[in-house]
Amino acid sequence: MAHEGPRLPAARGPLSASVREYLLGTGPLPPAEAVARASVYGDDLQLALYLCYELHYRGFAGVAPDHEWDPELLRVRAALEHRFLTALRADTPVHDTVDDALSELLVEPVEGTGVSHFLCDEGELWQLREYAAQRSLYHLKEADPHAWVLPRLWGRAKAAMAAVEFDEYGGGRPDRVHARLFADLMTDLGLDTAYGRYLDAACAETLATVNLMSLLGLHRSLRGALVGHFATVEITSSPGSRRLAEAMRRTGAGPAAAYFYDEHVEADAVHEQVVRHDVIGGLLEEEPHLAPDVAFGIGVTGLLEDRLADRLLTAWRAGRSSLHTPLNAEMAHIS
């Protein structure tokens, strides 16, 4: 029996409502003026774009697979992408060189203030559950958006990227696939492991971080930026994962919850070296003109992660949920 994708989420405004209705065959796509009016980082535009991108992954229940290459839907997606990418280019700090962009990632601040620091030092179990629900939009398809870049690389960069991706996919062992390990983490936290289950709950800032990966991955012209994004993820993952593993242990989240991050501490410390020296190095050896794109990919990843961190920490410090729709009370039991 063929796998059926997740159900379509509820709309968050006229754009996402129109895209949703079109996918179901019950209404037209949004007009160009609606795309132009929408807040670029807001729930409505980000969800509409997410719906378009998800057709290239697992799709949605009740949505025809042919919609993946629907010309009219692709036209709307292009308009949404243009709004998003234009804003990202305007808002991302410009680095003179790739080395300058990387140098900011390689030094851990003495007094960190990010999400992993908060969760490690004072996070409560309900906040860890919210964090896992938010991140599930990516981690249940971990490495998939980055895999789009493989056909666009060659030589040393392709070989190194494939080696890192092989690790992300469990080195050939299905029980070690990182998406599987994250599902085990979710089980420890009493969360539903179904793919796409928390799309309705995730905030716009989370949608934007996942949309960025799809945007960069699905466009060959943005291959340099995707490599920069991937490098940022790998370089920052190890220290952040160490703190998150400690948070899981401190709150009694469960062994699988801690193990997911323990695995990333070791694996991503190795990946960092491979990505910096062989993926980025190999790419720029072959295509030195892509250096500004790689730097952009590094900077824009930080931009959207900072926006997400602000959303999470502002809500949590006020004792509020960070989610668009809070987790159901009946799922709060941790077995």
> In this predicted model, what pLDDT tens digit does every residue of 283-310 receive, in sequence order?
999 999 999 999 999 999 999 999 999 9
User: Residue 98 corresponds to which tokens in the numbers above?
Assistant: 């790739």
Residue 333 CB-density burial (10 A; 0-12 exposed, 13-18 middle, 19+ buried)? exposed
Residue with tokens 């908060």: 118
Average per-residue pLDDT for the chain: 93
Round to whole Å and give the CA distance between 77 and 13: 16
Report whether 217 contacts 148 (CB < 8 A): yes
- If one compares 234 and 333, the residue with the highest pLDDT of the two is 234
Average pLDDT over residues 127-135: 98
Tens digits of residue pLDDT in 185-230: 999 999 999 999 999 999 999 999 999 999 999 999 999 999 999 9
Whole-number pLDDT of residue 110: 60
Whole-number pLDDT of residue 268: 63
Average pLDDT over residues 43-56: 98
Round to whole Å and give the CA distance between 91 and 89: 6
Report whether 273 contacts 141 (CB < 8 A): no
Report whether 80 contacts 35 (CB < 8 A): yes
pLDDT above 70 coverage of the chain, percent: 96
pLDDT above 90 coverage of the chain, percent: 88
pLDDT at 119 over 70: yes
Residue 182's H or E segment, with its range, is helix 178-188
User: Residue 97 corresponds to which tokens in the numbers above?
Assistant: 């060189």
pLDDT at 21 over 60: yes
pLDDT at 67 over 50: yes
User: Residue 39 corresponds to which tokens in the numbers above?
Assistant: 């807040």
pLDDT at 82 over 90: yes
Report whether 291 contacts 284 (CB < 8 A): yes
Reference 166, options 274, 288, 240; nearest CA is 274
Whole-number pLDDT of residue 330: 34
Angle 25-29-35 (CA atoms, 0-180°, nearest 5)? 155
Three-state secondary structure of 111-174: CCCCHHHHHHHCCCHHHHHHHHHHHHHHHCCCCHHHHCCHHHCCHHHHHHHHHHHHHHCHHHCH
Average pLDDT over residues 104-126: 87
CA 331 to chain centre: 24
What is the pTM for the complete model shown? 0.95
Whole-number pLDDT of residue 3: 61
pLDDT at 329 over 70: no
Round to whole Å and give the CA distance between 38 and 34: 6
Round to whole Å and give the CA distance between 71 and 231: 33
Other Cβ atoms within 10 Å of 110 Cβ, number: 5
Round to whole Å and give the CA distance between 247 and 122: 8
Whole-number pLDDT of residue 106: 80
Tens digits of residue pLDDT in 146-180: 999 999 999 999 999 999 999 999 999 999 999 99
Report whether 229 contacts 301 (CB < 8 A): yes
